[in-house]
Structure 1
Amino acid sequence: MESVTERPETAAQTVLVVDYGAQYAQLIARRVREARVYSEVVPHTLSAAEIIARRPAAVILSGGPSSVYEPGAPAVESELFDAGIPVLGICYGFQAMAHALGGEVARTGDREYGKTDVTAEGPVRSLLEGTDDVQTTWMSHSDAVRTAPAGFDVLASSDGAPVAAFADARRRLFGVQWHPEVKHSPQGQRIIENFLYDGAGLSPEWTTGNIVEEQVAAIRAQVGEARVICGLSGGVDSAVAAALVQRAVGEQLTCVFIDHGLLRHGEAEQVERDFVAATGAKLHVADERGRFLTALAGITDPEEKRKAIGREFIRAFEAAEHAVLDQAAAEGARVEFLVQGTLYPDVVESGGGEGASNIKSHHNVGGLPEDMEFKLVEPLRSLFKDEVRAVGAELGLPQEIVGRQPFPGPGLGIRIIGEVTEHRLDILRRADAIAREELTAAGLDGEVWQMPVVLLADVHSVGVQGDGRTYGHPVVLRPVSSEDAMTADWSRLPYDLLGRISTRITNEVEEINRVTLDVTSKPPGTIEWE
Structure 2
Amino acid sequence: MLVILDFGSQYSELIARRIRETQVYSEVLSYRTSAEKLRQLNPKGIILSGGPNSVYDEGAPHCDPEIWKLGIPVLGVCYGMQLMVQQLGGTVERAKRAEYGKAAIAIDDPTDLLTNVEDGSTMWMSHGDSAIALPEGFEVLAHTENTPCAAIAHHQKKLYGVQFHPEVVHSQCGLALIRNFVYHICECEPTWTTEAFVEEAVREIRAKVGDKRVLLALSGGVDSSTLAFLLHRAIGDQLTCMFIDQGFMRKYEPEYLVKLFQEQFHICVEYVNARDRFLAQLEGVTDPEEKRKRIGHEFIQVFEEESKRLGPFDYLAQGTLYPDVIESADTNIDPKTGERVAVKIKSHHNVGGLPKDLRFKLVEPLRKLFKDEVRKVGRSIGLPEEIVRRHPFPGPGLAIRILGEVTAERLNILRDADFIVRDEIKRHGFYHDLWQAFAVLLPIRSVGVMGDKRTYAYPIVLRCVSSEDGMTADWSRIPYDLLEVISNRIVNEVKGVNRVVYDITSKPPGTIEWE
TM beyond 0.5: yes
Contact 2:110 2:117 in 1 (8 A): no
Per the alignment, residue 489 of structure 1 pairs with: 474
Deviations 1:3-36 (A, max 9, x none): xxxxxxxxxxx00111111111111001000111
Q: Which residue number in structure 2 is paired with residue 57 of structure 1?
A: 44
| Equivalent position amino acid for 1:338 in 2 | L
Distance, in Å, in 2 between the alignment partners of 1:139 and 1:395 is: 40
CA RMSD of aligned residues (A): 2.3
In the alignment, is residue 44 of structure 1 matched against residue 44 of structure 2? no
Question: For the residues of structure 2 that align with 1:249 and 1:339, how far apart are their CA atoms?
Answer: 12
- 1:211-237 residue CA offsets vs partner (Å, 9 max, x unmatched): 111111110000011111111123222
Q: 1:163 to 1:277 in 2, by over 3 A?
A: farther
Residue equivalent to 1:462: 448
Partner amino acid, structure 2, of 1:392: G
Distance 1:91 1:503 in 2: 49
SS in 2 for 1:145: strand
Superposed counterparts of 1:252-267, under 5 Å: 252-267=238-253
1:206 aligns with 2:192: yes
Return the match for 1:443 from 429, 441, 464.
429
CA contact (8 A) 2:48 2:74 kept: yes
Q: Does 1:114 align with 2:114?
A: no
Matches within 5 A, 1:349-368: 349-351=327-329, 358-360=342-344, 362-364=348-350, 367-368=353-354
Out of 316-325 and 397-406, give the one that drifted further: 397-406
Q: Give the letter for the 2:494 counterpart.
A: V
Secondary structure in 2 aligned to 1:335?
Answer: coil
Correspondence for 2:12:
25
1:128 to 109, 114, 119: 114
Indicate conservation of the 8 Å contact 1:126/1:167, yes or no: no
**Match runs of 1:261-300 below 5 Å:** 261-277=247-263, 279-300=265-286
Determine whether 1:82 maps to 2:72.
no
Query: 2:441–2:459: 8 Å Cα contact kept in structure 1?
Result: yes
Q: Hey, what's the Cα distance between the residues in 2 that align with 1:365 and 1:47?
A: 26
Task: Pick the aligned partner of 2:299 from 306, 313, 322.
Answer: 313
**2:330–2:343 Cα contact (<8 Å) kept:** no
Question: Distance in 2 between the 1:84 and 1:277 partners?
Answer: 56
Alignment-derived partner of residue 523 in structure 1:
508
Q: Is the 8 A contact 2:372 2:469 kept in 1?
A: no
The Cα of 1:298 is off from its aligned counterpart by 4.0
Which residue type is aligned with residue 488 of structure 2? T
Equivalent residue number for residue 348 of structure 1: 326
Q: Offset of 1:277 from its aligned partner? A: 4.3
In 1: Cα distance, 2:371 partner to 2:389 partner: 11
Which residue pairs with 2:389 in the alignment? 403
Deviates more, 1:206-215 or 1:293-302: 293-302
The residue that corresponds to 2:336 in the other structure is none
The separation in 2 between residues aligned to 1:287 and 1:432, in whole angstroms, is: 22
After TM superposition, give the deviation of residue 40 of structure 1 in Å.
0.8
Moved more, 213-222 or 471-480: 471-480
- Aligned partner letter, 1:271: L
Query: Which letter does structure 2 place at the counterpart of 1:426?
Result: N
Aligned counterparts, 1:86-105, within 5 A:
86-105=73-92
Range 343-352 or range 24-33, more displaced: 343-352
Closer/same/farther in 2, CA of residues 277 and 25 from structure 1, 3 Å limit: farther
Structure 2 match to 1:382: 368
Cα deviation code 1:18-75 (max 9, x no counterpart) = 1111111111001000111110111111122321222111111111122222333223
Name the CA distance, whole Å, in 1 between partners of 2:79 and 2:352.
37
Say if 1:299 and 1:416 are closer, same or farther in 2 by CA, change over 3 A.
same
SS in 1 for 2:482: helix
- Residue 302 of structure 1 corresponds to which residue in structure 2? 288
Residues 156, 462 of structure 1: alpha-carbon distance in 2 compared, 3 angstrom cutoff: same
CA distance in structure 2 between the aligned counterparts of 1:290 and 1:523, rounded to whole angstroms: 35
In structure 1, what is the Cα distance between the partners aligned to 2:302 and 2:223? 20
- C-alpha contact (below 8 Å) 1:405/1:449 kept by paired residues: yes
CA distance in structure 2 between the partners assigned to 1:455 and 1:97 by the alignment: 50
Kindly provide the amino acid, as one letter, of the partner of residue 349 in structure 1: E
| Structure-2 separation of matches of 1:346 and 1:210 | 23
**Structure 2: how far apart are the matches of 1:18 and 1:125?**
26
* Residue type of the alignment partner of 1:15: L
- Counterpart residue identity of residue 323, structure 2: P
TM-aligned CA deviation for residue 115 of structure 1: 2.0
Do the aligned partners of residues 460 and 108 (structure 1) sit closer, same or farther apart at CA in structure 2, a change above 3 Å counting? Answer: closer
Shift of 1:469: 4.2
CA distance in 1, matches of 2:498, 2:330: 47
Distance in 2, matches of 1:304 and 1:45, equals: 33
Mapped partners of 1:212, 1:386: distance in 2: 15
Tell me the secondary structure at the aligned position of residue 207 of structure 2.
helix
CA 1:297–1:391: 2 relative to 1, 3 Å: same
> 2-side partners of 1:239 and 1:496: how far apart?
34
What's the counterpart of residue 339 of structure 1?
317
- Aligned match of 2:337: none
C-alpha deviation, 1:344, in angstroms: 1.4
Kindly indicate whether the alpha-carbon contact (under 8 Å) linking 2:428 and 2:482 is maintained by their aligned counterparts in 1: yes
State how far apart, in whole Å, the 1-side matches of 2:393 and 2:214 are. 25
Distance in 1 of aligned mates of 2:217 and 2:352: 9
Mapped partners of 2:415, 2:41: distance in 1: 50
1:8 alignment partner in structure 2: none
Runs of at least 5 residues in structure 2 that lack an aligned partner in the other structure? 334-339
**2:161 match:** 175
Instruction: State the SS of the aligned residue for 2:304.
Output: helix
1:451 is paired with a residue whose SS is strand
Cα distance change of structure 1 residues 267 and 365 upon mapping to structure 2, 3 Å threshold: farther
How much identity, in percent, do the aligned residues show? Answer: 53
Report the alpha carbon displacement of residue 365 of structure 1 after superposing the two structures with TM: 8.8
Question: Are the counterparts in 2 of residues 380 and 388 from structure 1 also a CA contact under 8 Å?
Answer: yes
The one-letter code matched in structure 2 to 1:471 is Y
Contact 2:320 2:351 in 1 (8 A): no
Q: CA deviation at 1:239?
A: 1.9
Q: Once the two structures are superposed, what CA deviation does each residue of 1:398-450 show, in whole Å capped at 9, x if it has no partner?
A: 22322222222221112123432333222211211121122223333343221
Residue 35 in structure 1 maps to residue 13 in structure 2: no
| CA displacement at 1:386 relative to structure 2 | 0.6
Match of 2:418 in 1: 432
Q: Which residue of 2 aligns with 1:476?
A: 461
* Structure 1, 59-68 or 146-155: larger mean CA deviation: 146-155
Q: Which consecutive residues of structure 1, in runs of 5 or more, have no partner in the other structure?
A: 1-13, 326-333
Partner Cα distance (1:238, 1:352) in 2: 25
